[in-house]
Copies of this chain bind each other. A is one copy, B any other.
Amino acid sequence: MKVIIICTLFISLINTPLLPLLRISAAEERGLSQMKSAQKEVYDAHRSYTRFHFTDNEMDFAFQWLLGSIVNGGAEIGEAFYVAAHIEDGNPKSWQDEWERMALRKELRARRALDAGHLITARQCLLKASNYYRTALVSRSVSDGKFNTISKKVRSCMQAAAPLFSPAMIYFEVPFAGTVLPGYYRPVQQNGTARKTLLMIGGGETFVEDNIFYIEPQAILRGYNFVTVDIPGQGMLPSEGLFFKKDTEIEMKAILDVILDFAEIDPERLAVYGISNGGYFVPRAATLEKRIKAIVVSSAVVDNYLMFKEMPFSKESQEQIDSWPAFKKAVTSGVTWRWGLEPENIKGQTEQTRGFQFNPALITCPVLDLVGAGEYVNRETERQQQEFMAKLGSKNKTLIVTPEDEGASSHCIGENRSLMAELVFDWLDELWPE
């Protein structure tokens, strides 16, 4: 077992020829300490340690998530800050309107580029349009008819972008429970050569398209085929009656039955990566689905119920929740819907996760666990990572705490996807050297 705590301490011990690495002002140190103390006691996945634009914390987290996608083609800095400057801080409606406006501008530009035969420009604009529509959805009520309309734009823009990759990215569907799980597949090359492959699974609030902006370009750059699929509870699947469920090995079987037929996927070198609540979904599946040859999580959720018990909606009273800022309430209601509950039943989420557990000892493939330093200060998060590492049935297991002083501290390391991807693929490269 290898535990690497790449944190401030580690970095600052290294010889520093130019200047001391750390010198935070007293005021900043106080603010940071307060955030950390709060995170230690109450686990808020959307807590951040750096302000990006908004004073509304929940809105700033959503903005940070969008900004994190820039390195993977999901946004542009000028576009993002133009939108931010026009959003009324904390107002869910204003957030929706402004992102939709920017999405539309990119979509119009893509259409003109397509007409003129400029395929790379069209692709780049469609990707951003898809992601801006997706971002607009974050605060929209699922019972609002427009939620459905905009979600279709997320998909149609991505589907229009897909064939403009070279080789093409392919939209595909996994038959499941009378409906289908939507997925995308991008091979490094389409010549039938079997290669290493990353299957990316999102978390408790993702659409399958998010996973593309999380890591896809880095996979291709490193010579890994990229696949991603929505599982029950994710994307628009709740609208078809598919909510989060504990036995994720069932949908994983359905997914692998389909993708292992893709000629370019080497079944002996298939890694599955789960983020956020995917830190439960993926390892749980790996306890039973032995066609998974390696897993990565950011980070492990060994017991979903015990984790949710530490979250604000469990710790706070209904009265307190009623007085939450509008944006936080909107975002959390949207997630609640994914657990098969009425969106306003935010507190109900906790009970829904009872029995969402897995036994790490049953996982026998190599495991990488990444956790942001800002998340790791939470006691229950730390405890679950330690339990996960200690009990794993695999000998090849590594825990990396990513450092605050490289801006890699938050949930899923969403604000430094370069560093995150470097850790993931360097680890996989060592596992499967060419």
Query: Hey, which bits of chain A sit against chain B, CB under 8 A?
Result: 11, 14, 16, 18-19, 21-25, 28, 50-52, 64, 67-68, 70-71, 76-86, 88, 97, 100-102, 104-106, 108-109, 113, 116, 118, 120-121, 124-125, 128, 221-222, 404-410, 413, 415-419, 422, 425-426, 429-430
Contact = CB atoms under 8 A, between A and B. Distances in A.
A416 B25 CA distance: 32
A415 B75 CA distance: 12
Nearest to A415: B78
A292 B221 CA distance: 33
Copy number of this protein in the oligomer?
Answer: 2
A18 B96 CA distance: 12
A327 to B, nearest CB: 17
A406 B71 contact: no
A18 B52 contact: no
Given A50-B85, A71-B70, A407 B113 contact: no
Given A76-B418, A82-B405, A82-B407, A101 B71 contact: no
A356 to B, nearest CB: 30
Contacts of A19: 97, 100-101, 104
Contacts of A105: 11, 21, 405-406
Nearest to A427: B118
Counting chain B CB atoms within 10 Å of each CB, the highest count among A104, A118, A407 belongs to: A407
Given A418-B124, A426-B118, A81 B28 contact: no
